[in-house]
Amino acid sequence: MKHRILHSVNLRDRLADYAPKLGVSLPELTTAFDWMCAHNVAFEEVGRGGVTNSYIAYVNIEPRIEHPLARRFYALLRDEIPVGFVPLYGINWPTLVDRWRRAWEQVYNMLINKIPSHNVRLAWLRMGGAKIGKGSTVWRNTEVIGVDGLQIGEDSCVGWHCQLDARAGLRIGNHVTIASHSIVIAGGHDLNAPEFWAFGAPIAIEDYAWITTRVILLPGAHIGEGAVVAANTVVSKPVEAYTIVGGQGAKVLGQRVRGLNYKVGGKGLFTLLH
């Protein structure tokens, strides 16, 4: 497999839903999808629980896809993933935009994230393509990679010295707390590929979830509404809503009270210099 990003699971089973969108028959689309899998445009990999993880090329190779229907299907699948794809580098506009975004986030990580002003830091992230809701904040010295793939809802707080890797998509809901020194990694590399191909899978953290200190979320992690991840836990799988997990393998430790209605308040006067 080459550079790839997770689109969904069991995509082949849902080709019948895509055929009408493309104005073709199911056998035609199935043939096109088989061609995509044979030519490094789409990839299938058996994951946990017997599901098939369905990936597509992370580099935007649409202009190079020779099969007409495969080209259209790839473009449709690509546009369903809310992140910026790596362009085919060259002297072109997509390359310029990509280089500008990467430079913009490097300036943020080296300089802007140390400025003791919520407004300045959030404005810089938003201008780089991040979507950040009202009342939310990212505290000082937290690094962001893939700024244009970052989505944060309202009244959520990311603490000090965190790392947010949003290159494959990172969606944080409302009233979420991510404690200091936590790491969210939406991408990695294929250990079975001699070429060290990159892969990515989006991460989602739902409303009222609490990610405690020094937690590591790996590609594909999905933290349910109101769930709690205990300190020093590594998570690479879905966590059910209102479930408390921790320790090796992110084992279930208990259940959290429901009916949560608090506000995080990460931009209050007390946190002025954060």
The set of catalytic residues is 189
**Could you count the other beta carbons within 10 Å of the beta carbon of residue 120?**
12
Contact in structure between 151 and 136 (CB atoms under 8 Å): no
Which is nearest to 183 in space by CA: 216, 150, 212, 152?
216
Reading the block at residue 191, the tokens are 């250990």
Cα distances from 86 to residues 5, 25, 62, 83, 149, in angstroms, run: 11, 31, 12, 10, 12
Contact in structure between 237 and 229 (CB atoms under 8 Å): no
Counting Cα atoms < 13 Å in the Cβ hemisphere of 41 gives: 26
Q: Which helix (H) or strand (E) holds 163?
A: strand 163-165
Give dist(CA 116, CA 145) in Å, integer: 20
Q: Side chain identity at 102, as an amino acid letter?
A: R
Contact in structure between 143 and 121 (CB atoms under 8 Å): no
Rounded to 10°, the helix 68-79/15-22 angle is 110
